[in-house]
Copies of this chain bind each other. A is one copy, B any other.
């Protein structure tokens, strides 16, 4: 009786190559924009020929699909490490700042996640499920501080999206709209009835 190996070196290597492909794609996307990603350049960067990529991804959009899924997974991972303060308003501000920083730290990623920049790309069901999961966690978090109505969730996402979008468009290297976050969170809390001291007096 031969013992089964406890590591699958083939699978590990395969996963490593897949990782290299995605990293190269991200590098190109950040440098020249999402639409500038080409199989040719991905291959060139990792010392492969373009057709070899098809052993790992069925198509170029399959690469985008993996990027889409991993972006939303990063949101989940990032937000799940947060140690929230007890006070509701402070917790909301912490959440807002974390998501804002995540979104504004990578324009290409944010475009892939939230804008229809690649017109013929639609996430697969599996990839979309990760985004739905991330949204569900945000909803659970808001429920935890007393926000339950659908319209209030829409309000929250609009406030965040607006600050992020303006930051990208008009002050990509600054903090002009990030500074508005305490104010936006206060406005949100006042509107939906979350009590507590204003976030802008302290400190």
Which residues of A are interface residues toward B (Cβ below 8 A)? 32-33, 35-36, 107, 111, 114-120, 151, 154-155, 157-163, 165-166, 168-170, 176-177, 179-180, 183-184, 187, 190-191
Q: Is the CB of A115 within 8 A of B116?
A: no
**With a CB–CB cut-off of 8 A, which chain B residues contact A187?**
187, 190-191
Q: Is the CB of A32 within 8 A of B114?
A: no
Report which of B116, B165, B191 forms a contact with A161, defined as CB distance below 8 A. B165
Report which of B36, B115, B119, B180 forms a contact with A115, defined as CB distance below 8 A. B115
Report which of B33, B158, B168 forms a contact with A162, defined as CB distance below 8 A. B158
User: So how many copies of this chain end up in the complex?
Assistant: 2
Smallest CB–CB gap between A199 and chain B, Å?
Answer: 13
**With a CB–CB cut-off of 8 A, which chain B residues contact A160?**
162
**With a CB–CB cut-off of 8 A, which chain B residues contact A176?**
154
Known A33-B116, A116-B33, A154-B177; contact A163-B165, beta-carbon cutoff 8 A: no
